[in-house]
Amino acid sequence: MRNKLLAAPYIVWMALFIVVPLGIVVYYALTDSITGQFTLSNLTGMGAYLSIFLRSIWLSLFAALICLVIGYPVAYFISQCSASRQRFLQMLIMLPMCMSFLLRTLAWVAMLEDTGIFNTFLSHLGIAPLPLIRTSGAVILGMVYNYLPYMILPLLSVMSKLDPRLIEAAADLGCPPSKVFSKVILPLSYPGILSGLTMVFVPAVSTFYISQKLGSTGTTLIGDVIESQFKTAYNPNLGAAMSLVLMILIFACVSIMNRFGESGDEEVMAKV
């Protein structure tokens, strides 16, 4: 009984700020904007935005993979440092997150725009300005910069707990460094990889500010469309339907990654 009472504030919090908002989204997604009656027209009307959905998924996955390629060696290097140096390097990684997300994105606008820092430097070298902004590459760059810490920190949490005796045993048994990495370190870090991919993909697929500032009409993401439905098109029912489908997509991706993570852990432990 006492444990239930201790959990009461959390249950109330969950009900007020998670269950109730989700219920409101579901209600608007499944009702008509004029009559308020039940309808599936909001969901069926999303076919016109299928290409934007696919673009959002593709750019988010690509950004998550780039974060993995960059973040994995960084996390491994930090995990091999002393405890005091690890804390210092973690602070450096988290330091940009103390700044506003909007300011960090606007800083890249100032660097990438046609009269920005990079193109100004190129003009001094006699090179014509490059199309650095309003491209898919700029949007991916913004995603990678803003969400890279979400990849490094889960990887670091897993790698710092790896048993060094397993690595020593593999080396003593004659495994070269490449085999030690592929057969011991990489499989044992699968949980961190899956957590990092999830933590990067989820905010990236639903973002809208990055694509607005660094992209163009050709890089519109589903988050931009949802925002426009509420602010400019004044069709909250269609916006709620898009939010509902996006939420289901995110839950499905998280469930799949968790399923692979559980099966991967069992296989790795069996091999080790």
DSSP, residue by residue, 158-192: HHTTS-HHHHHHHHHTT--HHHHIIIIIHHHTHHH
Helix and strand totals (H; E) in the chain: 15, 0
- pLDDT (tens digit, 9 = 90+) per residue, 195-236? 999 999 999 999 989 999 999 888 999 999 999 999 898 899
Q: pLDDT value at position 262?
A: 58
- pLDDT (tens digit, 9 = 90+) per residue, 126-168? 888 899 999 999 999 999 999 999 999 999 999 998 888 888 8
Report residue 69 as tokens.
């390629």
Q: Cα-atom radius of gyration of the chain, to the nearest Å?
A: 23
Residues 6+ away with beta carbon under 8 Å from 257:
194, 197, 198
